[in-house]
Amino acid sequence: MHIDTAYEGPLGDYFADNATDGPYNAHTDRPALFALAGDVTGLRVLDVGCGAGHYIAELRTRGAAEVVGVEGSATLLRHARDRVGEDDAVTLHRHDLEEPLDFLPDDCFDLVVAALVHHHLEGRRQLLAEAHRVLLPGGALLLSTVHPTADWVWHGGSYFDEDRVETRFGDSGATHSYRRMTMQTFLGELLEAGFALERFVEPRATEAARRVDESRYLKTHRTPFFVAVRMRKGQ
């Protein structure tokens, strides 16, 4: 099943603005993934579902030698281009993430980042296989997604439901869809793709989120919102 979940038009504009300093993207997910990344100096990085370029900009600031961003939304790519500016070390591609990354060669990246994107996709296993393929031996995948417990709290039903759900997108008035999954499914698919688990975190908002939205800051300290992992491709 192919579902278009790219954030286009006003929703893409809202996301780009919100992700800049919002409590969830800027102060929960991004700090967690960069803590998992460690030193990225000199690395060649693929950002899958690069959105408005926030991770790309920070990767370059932290010393990544080259970053390739892939995104399905023309709106978000426009924001990403504006954010990274004239940087010859950054390449951006518009590409449907339900399709293979066949324009990228095997064994060419030190690090792949997939921030809060793969739960939107029906072809999760394909995306993980492609991440594994394009990584150099010993390379790492950083991946974050909605926490299965949060889905259970928000949407009810059985924890083991893996249906596609619609949820309100912040204060935008719009909704977006994604497929919820159990922790067993989440980790199992990563292991089946050939990755080994190095680190697993359930991030909470940093103190900086208090000045943005204290109520949402507190929510992340009561209910797990996201889960993030660092996975390793074998040598």
- Spell out the alpha helix ranges (H) of 85-213: 124-134, 148-155, 183-192, 209-212
Other CB atoms within 10 Å distance of the CB of residue 85: 9
Contact between 82 and 75 (Cβ < 8 Å): no
- 101-105 long-range contacts (CB < 8 A, ≥24 apart) are 101/48, 101/70, 101/130, 101/133, 101/134, 104/46, 104/68, 104/130, 104/134, 105/134
pLDDT the model gives residue 21: 93
- Is a pLDDT exceeding 90 seen at residue 11? no
Question: What mean pLDDT value characterizes the chain?
Answer: 93
| Rounded-to-integer distance, Cα 66 and Cα 14, Å | 28
Q: Bridge partners of 30? A: none
Half-sphere exposure of 117 (CA within 13 A, CB side): 28
Q: What is the pLDDT of residues 92-108, one digit of tens each?
A: 999 999 999 999 999 99
- Give residue 235's pLDDT band: very low, low, confident or very high (50, 70, 90): confident
Q: Element (H or E) spanning 157, and its range?
A: none
Lowest mean pLDDT among 2-6, 85-89, 131-135: 2-6
pLDDT the model gives residue 161: 93
- Is a pLDDT exceeding 80 seen at residue 77? yes
Contact between 73 and 96 (Cβ < 8 Å): no
Lowest mean pLDDT among 1-10, 14-23, 124-133, 146-155: 1-10
Cβ-proximal residues to 180 (8 Å cutoff; 6+ apart), any chain:
119, 146, 148, 151, 155, 161, 162, 163, 164, 165
pTM of the model: 0.94
| Rounded-to-integer distance, Cα 95 and Cα 192, Å | 25
pLDDT the model gives residue 7: 86
Q: Where are the domains of the chain?
A: 9-233
Q: What is the pLDDT of residues 148-178, one digit of tens each?
A: 999 898 888 999 999 998 877 666 667 778 8
- Is a pLDDT exceeding 70 seen at residue 3? no
Per the listing, tokens 């690395």 go with 43
- Give residue 221's pLDDT band: very low, low, confident or very high (50, 70, 90): very high
- Smallest Cα–Cα separation from 111: which of 127, 94, 131, 83? 131
Share of the chain above pLDDT 70, in %: 96
Q: What angle do CA 57, 194, 58 make, to 5 degrees?
A: 5
Share of the chain above pLDDT 90, in %: 84
Superfamily, domain 9-233: Vaccinia Virus protein VP39 (3.40.50.150)
Q: What is the pLDDT of residues 103-151, one digit of tens each?
A: 999 999 999 999 999 999 999 999 999 999 999 999 999 999 999 999 8
- Smallest Cα–Cα separation from 121: which of 76, 72, 178? 178
Q: Which two tokens stand for residue 219?
A: 């929510």
pLDDT the model gives residue 8: 86
